[in-house]
Amino acid sequence: MQPEKPLEGKVALVTGASRGIGLAVARRLGSMGARVSLCARDVKRLESAADECTRAGAVAIAVAADVTHPADIAKLVDTTEQLLGPVEILVNNAGVGHFGPFQAAREADWDKVVDTNLKAVFLLSRAVAPGMIRMKSGHIVNVASLAGKNVFSGGAIYCASKWGLLGLTGCMAEDLRAHGVRVSAICPGSVATEFNLPGGRDRNKMLQPDDVAHAVAMLLTQAPQSFISEISMRPTQKP
């Protein structure tokens, strides 16, 4: 039988946690006993999200940061560790999209998407990895996308960022597995959040944020001698 609080005493840092998938993940990890640091850029929404987790009985803090900025990342990790303890779980969920013909996109569009979806994962994971190595324990979960495996018209920049994220995730896993640190990717299809992919779809048939949170919880409660490197998720009905 699984313990009632399988993550009791662990510190989890979740990015993009003010809404959608990130908030669902933060709620789930808090309910499992983790002390949760919620990160996002929107201070007001972020504080509301942390308050929601606290009211549900979790230990939760809000730390506003732009994870594309190294200085913000340093402050985020330092504040989290001072208030909660060493980070043993990192969920890299923050992400943005840009959709349209690649030939019409601006360099600024590329920079915004790739910096958020890919570079920020590298920077934040690099910041917490030394602590995990010292503890000989830890789990990094990168929220990727089925767009990292499939192409579609208008998705050039977004797909490039997610294909890159899957490559980064696999190499991180190889670099860290000998230290007792597991690195996994979750690749959901369309999720019913405020993040809108192109094309009108039935939101009732889409994956829900709690579905992704369930997958994160599953990854974090694996037996210690193995790890699931990647999960692909699809709704039961095509939206």
Q: List residues with catalytic annotation.
A: 158
Q: For tokens 């330092």, name the residue.
A: 78
Q: For tokens 């990342």, name the residue.
A: 73
From the centroid of its chain, how far is CA 4?
Answer: 24
Q: In 3D, which of 218, 53, 219 has the Cα closest to residue 39?
A: 53
Q: In 3D, which of 6, 9, 4, 14 has the Cα closest to residue 186?
A: 14
Q: How many residues does the chain have?
A: 239
Dist CA 91 CA 142 (whole Å): 6
Dist CA 87 CA 74 (whole Å): 13
Q: For tokens 């779809």, name the residue.
A: 201
Dist CA 14 CA 48 (whole Å): 15
Q: Quick check: 143 and 97 in contact, CB under 8 A? A: no
